[in-house]
Amino acid sequence: MEIGGVSIEGALALAPMAGVTDLAFRTICRELGAGYTVTEMVSAKALCYQDKKSLPLLRLGEEEQPAAVQIFGSDPACMEEAAAIALEQSGADIIDINMGCPVPKVAQSGDGSGLMRRPELAVRVAEAVVRGAAGRPVTVKFRLGWDKGSINCVEFARAMEGAGASAVTVHGRTRAQMYSGTASWDWIRAVREAVSIPVIANGDVFSPRDAVRILKVTGAELAMIGRGCFGNPWLFQQARAALAGEEIPPLPPLAERCDTAVRQIRLAAQYKGEHIACLEARKQYAWYLRGVPHAGYYKEQLCRVNTLEEIDRITAGIKRDLA
């Protein structure tokens, strides 16, 4: 499939997830079959005010193509400028606008999913980003609507298409649902039927079969995987096989999974330093151990980890005792 002339291999995308899908994790997911990745969301205001802390979030991997950078904000002029900055800094192929974030601080101030309550402003924001992107494709990621009494994803998608978006991503939940309940794939199908640009379907892909089903039910061009790949980047490999009608490969043995976790943490340390990488490893590595019998002792140790040396020691213990 193509997004505004940028071709994407396969039908699987990794969802943008702040605090999770950093460059290290995206690198691993791409190696295992994610054909398209999007950075964590970056504040347009922070970019316009030249906040140095935001720039590293825009960094893409050398092999990370095609990929999108994601920005959020609701001031059209600032979004136009931020789009230009984000594309220039990252060299990304595509820019994505976050109109789905439900976090109160973001949504209540009118950004993220707050824009679904102001569709006319959302159109002006999208048009501004299209101008700032100067020819590069713009995509918009949003939800079904603000709450179940105000579902407007179909009109919203049409409005985004009219504003110049080259694709839309729909997370099949309302803002009020946050991450609870089940995602409605039927609404995503309704969006698919309403627009002629590609649609990326998102919400509740936790297994290879879910990936096959979401594409079938929605008719969308791409399936975007979020929480399902926490500590399990092999979901991409397995979903790829399922989509190709091939036998689904089993998860690699525990020792190999730990090696992948450690590689991810070491990559993160390269990009953001050992201290931050180890703080983030506390949750990231624990996800790799989900469902592993008798891993409690090691998960507790991970909660306190501060150095790569400690990570290696814990890994040796897991391999010795559990693998």
Catalytic residues: 101
Residue 54: CB minimum distance to ligand FMN, A: 12
User: Which residues inside 41-60 make contact with ligand FMN, applying CB under 6 A?
Assistant: 41
CB 129 within 8 A of CB 156: no
**Binding footprint of ligand FMN, residue count (CB under 6 A):** 24
Among 20, 69, 123, 165, which residue sits at the site for ligand FMN (rule: CB under 6 A)? 20
Given a contact cutoff of 8 angstroms between Cβ atoms, the answer to whether 201 and 191 are in contact is no
Which CB, 283 or 299, lies closer to ligand FMN? 283
Token pair 């970019």: residue: 47
Cα 153 to Cα 127, 168, 223: the distances in Å are: 18, 10, 17
Subset of residues 103 to 142 that bind ligand FMN, contact rule: CB under 6 A: 141
Shortest distance, position 255 Cβ to ligand FMN, whole Å:
28
Region of residue 73 (left: phi > 0; alpha: psi -120 to 50; beta: else): left
Site for ligand FMN in 64-83 (CB under 6 A): 70
* Length of the chain, in residues: 323
- CA nearest 176: which of 150, 154, 158, 201? 150
Residue among 1, 18, 243, 292 that touches ligand FMN (CB under 6 A): 18
Residue in the block written with tokens 């091939």: 246
The region of 97-105, 157-165, 267-275, 296-304 touching ligand FMN under the rule CB under 6 A is 97-105
Interacting residue with ligand FMN among 33, 35, 66, 100 (CB under 6 A): 100
- 89 vs 98, which CB is nearer to ligand FMN? 98
Q: How many CB atoms lie within 10 A of CB 142?
A: 26
Burial of 18 (0-12, 13-18, 19+ CB in 10 A): middle
Residue found under tokens 């060299």: 91
Does residue 40 bind ligand FMN (CB under 6 A)?
Answer: yes
Contact with ligand FMN (CB under 6 A) among 128, 191, 205, 214: 205
Place of tokens 């390269």: 270
Task: List 302's β-bridge partners, or say none.
Answer: none
**Which of 111, 161, 204, 221 lies at the binding interface for ligand FMN (CB under 6 A)?**
204
- Per-position b or e across 114-129, b if 16+ CB within 10 A of its CB: bbbbebeebbbbbbbb
The residue among 229 and 318 lying less far from ligand FMN, judged by its C-beta, is 229
Q: Scanning residues 224 to 263, which ones bind ligand FMN (CB under 6 A)?
A: 225-228
Residues that bind ligand FMN (CB under 6 A): 15-20, 40-41, 70, 98, 100-101, 141, 171, 179, 183, 202-205, 225-228
